[in-house]
Every structure is written in structure tokens, then in C-alpha cells.
Chain A
Amino acid sequence: MAIKEKPVVTFARWGNYTIAFKGLFEQLGMKVILPPKTNPSIVSEGAKIAPELFCFPMKVTLGGYLAVIKQGVNTILSMQNVGGSCRQKYYGLIQEKVLKDGGYEVKFVDFRATPRDIYRMIKENSDASDKQIAAAFYVFFEKLFLIEKIEKIAQKLRPREIKKGGTEKIVREGLAAIEKTANLKDLLKAKKEILSLLNKVEIDKNKEVFKVGMMGEIYTVTDPSINFDLEAKLGLDGIEIHRQMNVSYHMKKLLFPWIDWAIQRRINHYLKSTVGGHGRDAISEMLDFVKEDFDGVIQILPFGCMPEVTVRPILEKIRQENNIPFLSLSLDEQVAEAGINTRLEAFADVVKNYHFKKQKNLKRQENLKPLNEKII
């Protein structure tokens, strides 16, 4: 009888949220080795063995797995997506096959994102009791919501801070501190510290900031190491980024399916069926941004993302109807940071032009009002 190996697990990185998942699996008694932060060499390693026409996140995650398999990882956890179907559902199948063809012996645990499947997966791979699982999940959610909160605060602070780069430093150090916490007590202590530090960041309250909405495919939108730190770059340029996409949005859609129905009703005018992934969400979010009078919208998608490519013409149409600045960035292993920077800088200029023009028109209307009243 073969001796059961103790699993050493890894899973795909997912932006700043990775550390919350790491804490969860560690608390469940698994040994976790995280893939290193995504960098160009990981991307190119993954792209080398991945099928060429598959979408970008699959290549990135594959590169990450390759890096840690060498360090002794024997189990890979891969969760299928929530929401509309897209090729992400086949990541597990294909990556397992690609790794096998490459001569790597790993166990691939591919599970669906339903509470039942997740529970089964945990029971199979760890010895944790139900009580321990509940406690681990409690800490996990605390961590996750804290990270999302920090991200939201940072989006507001960056354009307004007086000492440029101060927020970024607190965020970076704060995330590192959260990663180290192993129990609820430490986490709550860290939470208090980070939030008070962020509270103390000096800001220029009267500064005119420009609001830009960001939507698209969730992996590229939320992971700063994939989208070239777009949020921070635009933030330091005086632009306040808004985005709805994060893990809790993703989870909400899992628990409350009627969110999707509501979205469908809103976008019926543009699209009558699902196109998979977050295609419908992108349209609905863009409509939100337009309604809330934003100064610009950015769509980020991985090259080859079928749902986002399908809705792009619709987003272009909304842009034309409302004249709002719109930038669509498609990312893959061929894209160079210099090219993205040029586009982002130019887009920031367009956003500012649009903002000031809007204001000028507003003033003109205000000036006209009393005149009209006199005539009446």
C-alpha cells in the first residue's frame, strides 16, 4: 500500500486577495507554497508550454505553478469560475494535461465554486474538523473584506495625497502584515493599525480629482501585477479609480443568482443573452459609470477573452452615445509596459480634457439661466 504523501498545495495567485486564500488553507492544516508574484519571466515560462490561443490568465497561472512545482508542490487547487460560463472552466482540465505532457507529476484538484464542492474538497485534502473549518473561514472573510476595504480607501487617497507614494507604502506594508497574521486576534490588531495609518495620510481635500471607472475581466482588473499597477499609476496622476469587481462581488453573485437577472434586465436594450464570464456585468457597470457622470471608463481584458471581446463593440456604442472617454486595454505576454504607459498617459489627458469641458458647459448653462428668467 502506498504511503499517503502529505499534500503540499499551491493555487493561482489572484492579486492582493492571494494572501487571504493562503491564510485559509494554512489554517486548515495544509502546507502552502505560493507561486511567486507574477513577473515577466513567469509569464513567459507559462506561455511557452500553454496552448498559444488560450486566454492570458491560463498562461500566467501555469507559469506560477511551474515555478513552485520545482519547490516540492504536489497538489494544485483550481477553482472553476462563478457566473457565466467561459473557458476558465476548462483551465483545470487543460493545465493538468499540459503539466502531465511536460513530465510534471502533480495532483490536480479541480472543483466548482459551490459550498458543497468546496467543503468536499477540504475534507478530502485536510484533517480539519468542521469547527476548525468554520473558524478558518471566519478569519478568511475578515481578511478578505479588510483587503478589499484597504483597496477602496487607497483608490480614494492616491489622487489626493500630498506626499506622493505615501499611501502605496502603507498598503504594501499593510498587506505584508496581514499575510503574517494567523489568528483573529492578530488580524484585528493589524486591521486597527493599518486603518489608522491610512486615516493619517495627509490629503488635499479641495483637490479636483477625475473619476474613472474600471471594469472588464475580473482577473486582469483586480491583479496589479498583471495590469501593470494601473490603479496606482492613474491614482498618482490625480485620477480616482472606481471598480466593482472584487472577490466579494464574485461571491455575492454566487449566493444571490437574482443579481444576474437584475443585470440582464438593465442591459436588455443592448444584449439579450449571456455571453459568459463577466460580459453582462461590464455593460451594466459601464451604464452605471455613465449615469454617475464619470470622466472616463477603462475596460481591461486578457487577450483572447471571449466574453469581453464580444461585449467590446457594445461598450463602444455606449461610449458613442454618451461621448464619455473610453479605453480598452487587451493584455497578454506580448504587451510591453512602455506601450501601456503611453496609452494610459494619453487617456489621462483625454479624461482631464473631458472633465474641464463638462465643467465649462455647466458654467455656461448657469450663466444663461438668469438671462432666460429676465426674458420671461
Chain B
Amino acid sequence: MKCYLGIDVGSISTNFVLINEAGEVVYSLYIRTEGNPIKAVQAGLTMLKQSLKEKKIEVEVAGVGATGSARYLVGAITGADLMKNEITAHARGASHFVPGLRTILEIGGQDSKIIILEDGASVDFAMNLICSAGTGAFLDAQANRLKIPIEQFGPLALKSKKPTQLGARCTVFCESDMIHKQQIGHKTEDIIAGLCHGLVRNFLSSVAKGKNIKSKIVFQGGVSENPGIKKAFEDALQEEVIIPPYNTVMGAVGSALLVRDNPPEHTRFLGFDITERDIRCTAFNCGGCPNNCEVIEARIDNKIAARWGDRCGKWSSQKPEI
């Protein structure tokens, strides 16, 4: 079976999606990056290979797309054919499942974005620039502090009848506000619901400020697993918010679809074997001019696979050894 692989490596999670030529998802995987994107990619590819073996599916990878903040690294070590930014990838993925959508709200581990679409193409977008207040990482930390598993965070928030008012502009102040509200005896579920509302308020007033939010609205990214946030969005926008299938791996779906739309003649995919090879990534300062760019170098079995990060092309234009 001819398949396309999409890999999305973000700050918190690493996602893999395998789609067939019809655009149906054959396999999807969501694992934590845990600060080591190379290991996460290797682990993910191993799991993908094993699962395909167990299900006895013969797969011919015809193209690989990489996205997410580590797209160049992943592209270098897996031999991706297409490296696209996560905004385009998310837009492509979501419009595949929800035709006619106009707005994508995406909240991930450390970034949040809003994308406005028209006729399936993105026309406007915004990303959080200097503050990551109210993203997945913060919810994670609060769940940890309250000793509630993150999976139960949302259902618990839905139980609340009277959400607590929390100042959620800054996570540090929000946390002290939460502690204060706990001390004066607010119920845990009210505080959690208040947190969800505060986060949504913060998103709408900073990232989504001035954007023309129209339905259909899609909510995706890791945080969309949390029904409390979904409800808070619906309350704030007074519109139905759709959570599409594969909501947590939409970036990977999108990048796989983008490769499928423009398939390469011959894929540069290095194969599943790279999981057993020694991959290292180092950085050095060029020093060739006062700009002193930090050049990143990926080596597979001690052979240079790619170099990037320089402005003038002195290093990145060199031919890789493999």
C-alpha cells in the first residue's frame, strides 16, 4: 500500500500519522517529546514499524512531511521531502476533516494559534509571540500541583456550577490567585473551571485579538482533549466548537496531506532503519563573520546528514555525506 508519513515534533509531543492515497489515516501515534526530539522520532518510528508488522500491513512510504518547531531537525534525520510550518499544516489537516471551516483554534504544549480560512486556504493567522500563558504546559503544571490526572481535568471542570473568577493573564499570578482561592475555600472543580475560562479569555484577548472569528470553528491541539476548555470556548464565543477526529495529531495529518498533494518523484525517506542508527545533533558557532551564526549539524553514524542555521549558506549549501 502506498502511504504518506507526516511527523510533527513540537515542544511537548511528537506525533506520527500515516495516510493512504485516499487521505484516510492508517496509523496515528502521539508520544511525548520529553526534551529529546531525536529519541522521540526514533521511538515513534520503531513503534510504527512494529504496529505495521503486527497488523501485517505492507507499506511503501512514498513521501514524508515534517512540521512543528523541530521540522528541520526531523527533516534532516528522516529524510523528509517537505518541511512546512505548523500553521499551514494545521490548516490543511483540519480542512480535510471539516470542509467549509472558517476558524481554527489551536492550543498545544507551548504555543497557541488562531488561523482564519477562506475556501480551505489560510488567509490570516496569529501565534502567541512573547507569552505562553494558558497553554498545555501550564495546565499540566496545575494538574500536577492539584494532584489531579490531566485526563480528568476537563470532566471535573464540567461539573462546576459556579466557576471561580481567576486572573489568567499571567500564569505566575494566576497560580497565586488559585492558591488564594483554595485557601478561602473554593471547590476544586470551580477553580478548575475558572482556570479554563481564564485561559480562554486570555487566548481570545491576546492571540485572537482583532481576528474575525466565524463558524465553523474547529478546536484542536493537545489542549482540545480537555472538554472544559471546549465548553469555555463555546460559552465565550456563543458558537458551536467542533473537535475534529485526530485533533491531537492534526499537524502530522496536515503535513502528510501536503506531501500527498505534491508527491515527490522519489522520496528521500531514509527508511525505518534510522531508529537503529546513531544520530547526533550538535551546534557550533561559525565565527566566519561578526554575525557568528549558530550552525546546527545533524550526523547519522558520524556522517553529516545536514547543516542549517547559517545566514549566508556557507554550511547549509554543502552537500551532505549521505
Contact = CB atoms under 8 A, between A and B. Distances in A.
B69 to A, nearest CB: 6
A342 B85 contact: yes
Given A37-B289, A37-B291, A357-B121, A349 B69 contact: no
A354 B122 CA distance: 9
Interface in A302-347: 313, 316, 320, 323, 325-326, 330, 334-335, 338-339, 341-343, 345-347
Interface in B273-322: 289-292, 311-313, 317
Contacts of B130: 334-335
A316 B311 contact: no
Given A325-B123, A335-B129, A346 B313 contact: no
A293 interface: no
A354 B311 CA distance: 28
A39 B123 contact: no
A357 B69 contact: no
B125 interface: yes
B131 to A, nearest CB: 10
Contacts of B118: 357
A308 to B, nearest CB: 15
Residue of A168, A313, A330, A349 most packed against chain B (CB within 10 A): A349
Interface size on B, as a range, is 20 to 34
Dominant secondary structure at the B interface: loop
A39 B292 contact: yes
A346 B87 contact: yes
Interface in B118-173: 118-119, 121-125, 127, 129-130
Interface in B100-127: 118-119, 121-125, 127
Contacts of A346: 85-88, 122, 125
A349 B123 contact: no
B86 to A, nearest CB: 7
Interface in A35-79: 36-37, 39-41
B123 A323 contact: yes
B85 A357 contact: no
Contact of A350 (B84, B122, B290, B317): B122
Given A229-B311, A338-B69, A345-B84, A353 B124 contact: no
Given A36-B290, A41-B292, A342-B87, A325 B210 contact: no
A39 B289 CA distance: 10
Contact of A39 (B87, B124, B290, B317): B290
Contacts of B69: 338, 342
B291 A39 contact: yes
Contacts of B86: 342, 346
Nearest to A320: B212
B213 to A, nearest CB: 13
Contact of B290 (A37, A229, A334, A349): A37
Nearest to B294: A40
B291 A225 contact: yes
A39 B286 CA distance: 13
Contacts of B127: 339, 342-343
Interface in A167-220: 168, 172
Nearest to B90: A346
B129 A339 contact: yes
A339 B292 CA distance: 19
Given A36-B290, A338-B69, A353-B123, A165 B85 contact: no
Contacts of A313: 210
A37 B121 CA distance: 39
A341 B86 CA distance: 11
Interface string A341-371: 1110111011001100100000000000000
Given A39-B290, A229-B311, A346-B85, 11 more contacts: A165-B317, A168-B313, A313-B210, A330-B129, A341-B85, A342-B127, A345-B88, A349-B87, A350-B122, A357-B118, A357-B119
Interface of B: 69, 84-88, 118-119, 121-125, 127, 129-130, 210, 212, 289-292, 311-313, 317
List the 5 closest pairs (A to B, CB-CB), nearest first: A346-B87, A353-B121, A345-B85, A37-B290, A36-B290
15 contacts: A37-B290, A41-B292, A330-B129, A335-B130, A338-B69, A339-B127, A339-B129, A342-B85, A342-B87, A345-B84, A346-B88, A346-B122, A346-B125, A349-B85, A350-B125
